[in-house]
C-alpha cells in the first residue's frame, strides 16, 4: 500500500501580517513569561509590530510553553549527555479572523549550559525558537509553498 502525505498549505494571509497581538494560552504556566519574551524579541527579529489589543492586530499569536525543570535537565545530562538535555517545548499558533491558520511546536535543547541558565534565558530561548518557526511559516506563505 502506498501512502501519500500532503503537507497542508500555509494560509497566504500569513505573508501579509504586520500587526501582531501575542497571547499566552495559560496565564498561570510558562506560557506567560515565554509570551513576554516573544513580545520583546519579535519586533527585533521580524518586520512586525506588537499591538496591545487583539482587535487592532492582523494576527493573534497564541503561545504555549513548558520549561523542563532543573532536576529533569540535570538527570538528562547525566544519563544522556548534553545532546539529550531538553530545555523544554514551545508551541505557537496564528489566528486570523478567529480561525487558526498556522500551528507549530518544537522541543528546544539546552546544550551543555543546561545547569547554569537563568529562568529568563530559558523562557527567551523558547520564545526565539517559536519566532524562528513563525519566520519559516511566513516565508513559506510568501513563497506560496
Q: Is 67 a member of any domain?
A: yes
pLDDT in tens, 30-78: 999 999 999 999 999 999 999 999 999 999 999 999 988 643 444 444 4
Q: For the CA atoms of 12, 16, 21, 25, what is the dihedral angle to 10 degrees? A: 20
Question: How many domains are contained in the chain?
Answer: 1
Q: Domain range for residue 77?
A: 12-143
Helix (H, G, I), strand (E, B) or coil at 46: coil
Residue 47 falls within a domain, yes or no?
Answer: yes
In degrees and rounded to multiples of 5, residue 37 shows phi and psi of -70, -35
pTM attached to this predicted model? 0.80
Query: Is there a contact between 11 and 134 (Cβ–Cβ < 8 Å)?
Result: no
Residues 78-110 pLDDT 10s? 444 444 567 899 999 999 999 999 999 998 886
Phi-psi region of 4 (alpha: psi -120 to 50; beta: other; left: phi over 0): beta
Q: What is the dihedral of CA 90, 131, 57, 15, to 10 degrees?
A: -120
Amino acid at each position: 500500500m502506498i501512502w501519500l502525505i500532503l503537507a497542508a498549505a500555509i494560509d497566504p494571509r500569513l505573508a501579509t501580517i504586520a500587526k501582531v497581538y501575542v497571547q499566552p494560552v495559560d496565564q498561570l504556566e510558562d506560557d506567560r513569561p515565554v509570551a513576554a519574551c516573544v513580545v520583546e524579541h519579535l519586533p527585533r527579529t521580524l518586520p512586525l509590530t506588537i499591538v496591545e489589543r487583539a482587535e487592532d492586530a492582523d494576527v493573534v499569536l497564541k503561545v504555549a510553553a513548558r520549561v523542563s525543570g532543573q532536576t529533569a535537565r540535570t538527570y538528562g545530562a547525566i544519563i544522556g549527555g548534553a545532546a539529550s538535555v531538553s530545555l523544554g517545548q514551545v508551541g505557537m499558533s496564528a489566528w486570523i479572523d478567529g480561525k487558526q491558520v498556522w500551528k507549530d511546536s518544537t522541543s528546544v535543547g539546552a546544550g551543555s549550559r543546561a545547569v547554569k541558565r537563568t529562568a529568563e534565558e530559558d523562557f527567551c530561548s523558547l520564545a526565539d525558537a517559536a519566532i524562528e518557526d513563525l519566520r519559516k511559516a511566513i516565508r513559506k506563505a510568501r513563497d506560496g509553498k
